[in-house]
Every structure is written in structure tokens, then in C-alpha cells.
Amino acid sequence: MSLPWLTDDSRIREYCGLFGVYGRPDAAELTYLGIYAQQHRGQESAGICTGDGRSIRRHARLGLVTQVFDASVLGSLAGHAAIGHVRYSTTGSSSEINCQPLKVKSAQGEVAIAHNGNLINATDLRRTLEARGAIFQTSSDTEVILHLLASPAHAGADDPLAAVMRVLRGAFSLLFIFPDRIEAVRDPYGLRPLCIGKLPDGAVVFASETCALDIVDADYVRDVSPGEIVTLSDAGVSSRFFTEGERTRPAHCIFEHVYFSDPSSNVFEQNVHAFRVASGRQLAREAPADADFVIPVPNCARCAAIGFSEESGLPRGRGFTTSHYSGRSFIMPTQDQRDLTVRMKLNVIREAVRGKRLVVVEDSVVRGTTTRGKMGALRKAGAREIHLRVASPPIRHPCYFGIDFPDPAKLVARERTVEEICEFLEVDSLAYLSLEGLLSCARGAASNYCTSCFSGDYPMPVPLTVDKLALEK
């Protein structure tokens, strides 16, 4: 049985989630909870490294957090410091060797790293290092950072970590664990989120999203600033900047708010749910529709549908149900099984939509094949009219900063007008939220956000083609 309209391939692949803690005897258990809360940021592999002041222990495997760790594994990860990572990579790199945190032992001692983002100069750096004799163990761009740290040129610097950070280009929120400390780093653009929290006993934690702070009962303190290195050790907390006084315009990924982050999280100092509700309200102002009620495409569009309903006065309804028990489609061995698993996740409620005029709110449209399938399912169930409203602008450009959009040629909006996309999706009307409208929902200056996949305006020079090495993470 082939059900190509509901394959996960059309959705955006997720990237990574980070968590770290210092100064707790239960560091591994807290990190388990921290990455579990961020499972939505990566479902392919999970890993934790702990430090006890002398050495670093590591456990990282393919699978969900609950599959990779049990009580005995956590019990073996002794130490008062830990970093953890969940990851989702591109096809072809589902290898245990690439699971993070990556750990190495060099002349400088042991170190492990967890990375969220994408280095756009990874291939160049790797070629240079290989030409000097470096032997790489993985196909991940993250390993480049470890080789740079171990290289004599950087190891001999006053601040080796800062010296390496100055060489990197692209998006990087990083956690390092050394036997005696943890260091957290954020790239000068602040593309990916990374925040600092405090546990009730005063111990300090790091997390990609604040939902990971909530699960361990930590209070949000602040974000790691763009270009900052924050160190946790027995000496306490300290901070320094590797950007040497240069101020770069921040470029926070607006897609964190549109799609990636959990609605309960605050990222870039703004609640994700509130942002999405505001985007739905703005969408209703920009593109009203005459309909019986508003339904979201689960799950990400739920908040935007609330906003659309509130602003338009149209009642909210439910057109789909989702199953939490259908498992992970990508681990199924055949395409037919994967297709079936994805279809099992989403059902149309026929009685609710039959004969109705619907406003269907979607968070974003990538290839369009998944959305077309869902709209077709609503139509098949008897929906009379479908007015699709998308709470973000058309995606027309690739992302070089860690989001695995498909080949740009496969983006439905790449070469099509909105009218042509409407025809392709087979809906009665289609409207996207404008870029200005999207940015009006964001906290602070619009110029502080990366919107490159919508606008083609990149915050830094980017390669002409997506760096495949860098995407294999």
C-alpha cells in the first residue's frame, strides 16, 4: 500500500536539543529529564556525558531518550557534571558513530561536545585539518571543533576555546564538558537558542529551551548571549566573550517560533505559544475568510488557530485527531510501513467536517505534498470549502544554519505564485502570513531575526550549495 501524501519526508527535519548541569550528584538523571523534555528537537539519537573531576563517561545511541537510557545506564554515568544531546540527522547519517555528545582524548586531556546548529565552513576546515594529518572518526561537522581544539595552533593560545570559536562560521550553540568544568557557547548571531537556569539548590543548568528547565524545576535566569562563553566549575559561574568587542546584529531563527520550539518554552526571551497566537491573529487580519469554523493542522498550528479564531470571531473546531502511540515512522524498515505509520498518526473526523466550510490553519508549507494530502483527506471526508491559511510566509530559499529543508527545487513555493500553490494544494483559497506580519509578532527589533528561508536575505555570506557534511548531524 502506498500513501505518498502522508510521508514525513515532506516535513522539516528537526535538529538538536542540548542540556547541561554542574554541581549535582544526580547530574545524569537531571540531564536525562532535560533531554527528554526536548525530544521534539530530535528523535534519532540521544546521549549523555558526565564528568567527575578526573574523567568523562559517555553513553550515546540511536533511539529515543527512553530507549537509550534506563536506570542501570544512568547509574553507570557517575559524576557531578553532565551534558546531554538529542539529535535528528539527515538521511544517510543514521550512524551510531555520529551520536552526540562526541568525546575525544588528546594531549590536552578529555573533552566532549554537544552541538545544535550547522557550521557553514566545516568542509573547508576539515580539508585543512586532514591535509595536516587529522583523522576523522565521524561524518559530523561537530568533530571539526574537537580537532581544532586539539590542534597545537589553538591549544597554545591564551584561551583555546575562544580561539577556536573565532574560526567557526554558521550556527552553533555548544556545550562542552571537560573533567573539571562545563562551557556553554553561542554563535555571534544567536541563531539557535541556549538559556541558563538555576535549580532550587543554586546549581546552574543550560538548555536549548526553557521547557527543559521546567521539568527539572529550574528557574530561567537569562539567555547565553550571542558570542558569549559561560563556564561552570567549582569556582562558580564566569562569562567571557570570544567576539572581542565586535557587535554583530543578532539573527535569531524565526522558525523556532513558527515550528520548532515547544509552545510552553520561551525562546529568544518570548513565549512560543504567545508568538503563535499573535501570528494567527495577524493572519486573520491579513487574510480573513468566510467559513463555519477554524481548525488547525496538528500539532504546531494549534496556537495559530486559536489566534485566528479569536481575531476573526469564527468558532474553533477539530478536524483531525492524532495518535500518540503509532511509533516512529523513520525506524520502520519499508516505505509502505513508514507511510502507514504516518497515516496512523492523523485521522480526519468525518462527522465534524462533512458539509462544512473550513478555515484550515497550518504553521508552514514545505514541499506541499503532505499538506495536499491532508487537504485531500478533508475533501474526501466531505468538507464543502477549504480555506487554507498559513501562519508564515512561503519558504523559497534553503537554510544553511541547521534546518534540513529539502532540496530547494522541491520547495512548493520556490517557483510558484500563491495562486499556483493554491491550485496544487487543491483548496478553495490560500493565503500566507506576510513577512512583515510575522515579524510584527516577534519581541524586539525585526532586524534581530533570521528570515532567510523566506526572504533569501542571509545574515552572513553563505555557500552556494548546502554543505552535506555539515548537514550530517
Residue ranges binding ligand SF4 (CB under 6 A):
191, 253-255, 399, 401, 403, 450-453
Q: Based on CB atoms, which residue is closest to ligand SF4, 420 or 457?
A: 457
Q: Based on CB atoms, which residue is closest to ligand SF4, 253 or 425?
A: 253
In the complex, minimum distance from the CB of residue 367 to ligand SF4, in angstroms, rounded to a whole number: 15
Of the candidates 13, 153, 25, which has an alpha carbon nearest to the alpha carbon of residue 77?
25
3-class SS of residue 299: coil
CA distances 43 to 88, 89, 121, 291, 468, Å, are: 6, 9, 26, 37, 20
Cα radius of gyration rounded to whole Å, the chain:
22
In the complex, minimum distance from the CB of residue 171 to ligand SF4, in angstroms, rounded to a whole number: 7
In the complex, minimum distance from the CB of residue 185 to ligand SF4, in angstroms, rounded to a whole number: 17
Q: Based on CB atoms, which residue is closest to ligand SF4, 371 or 452?
A: 452
Q: Is the dihedral of CA 27, 33, 38, 43 positive or negative?
A: positive
Half-sphere exposure of 332 (CA within 13 A, CB side): 15
In the complex, minimum distance from the CB of residue 259 to ligand SF4, in angstroms, rounded to a whole number: 8
Q: Based on CB atoms, which residue is closest to ligand SF4, 34 or 250?
A: 250
Q: Is 211 one of the catalytic residues?
A: no
Q: Are the beta carbons of 193 and 208 closer than 8 angstroms? A: yes
Q: Are the beta carbons of 149 and 134 closer than 8 angstroms? A: no
Outline where 97-177 has alpha helix (H): 122-131, 142-150, 152-155, 160-165
Q: Based on CB atoms, which residue is closest to ligand SF4, 254 or 277?
A: 254
Q: Based on CB atoms, which residue is closest to ligand SF4, 383 or 399?
A: 399
Give the span between the Cα atoms of 239 and 255, in whole angstroms: 28
In the complex, minimum distance from the CB of residue 257 to ligand SF4, in angstroms, rounded to a whole number: 10
Query: Cell 491559511 sits at which residue?
Result: 389
For 185-210, the DSSP string reads: EE-TT--S--EEEE-TTS-EEEESST
Give the span between the Cα atoms of 446 and 431, in whole angstroms: 22
Q: Based on CB atoms, which residue is closest to ligand SF4, 376 or 408?
A: 408
Give the span between the Cα atoms of 161 and 146, in whole angstroms: 10
In the complex, minimum distance from the CB of residue 405 to ligand SF4, in angstroms, rounded to a whole number: 7
Give the span between the Cα atoms of 58 and 4, in whole angstroms: 39
Give the span between the Cα atoms of 275 and 447, in whole angstroms: 17
Give the span between the Cα atoms of 165 and 113, in whole angstroms: 13
In the complex, minimum distance from the CB of residue 224 to ligand SF4, in angstroms, rounded to a whole number: 17
Q: Are the beta carbons of 213 and 205 closer than 8 angstroms? A: yes
Show which residues are catalytic: 16
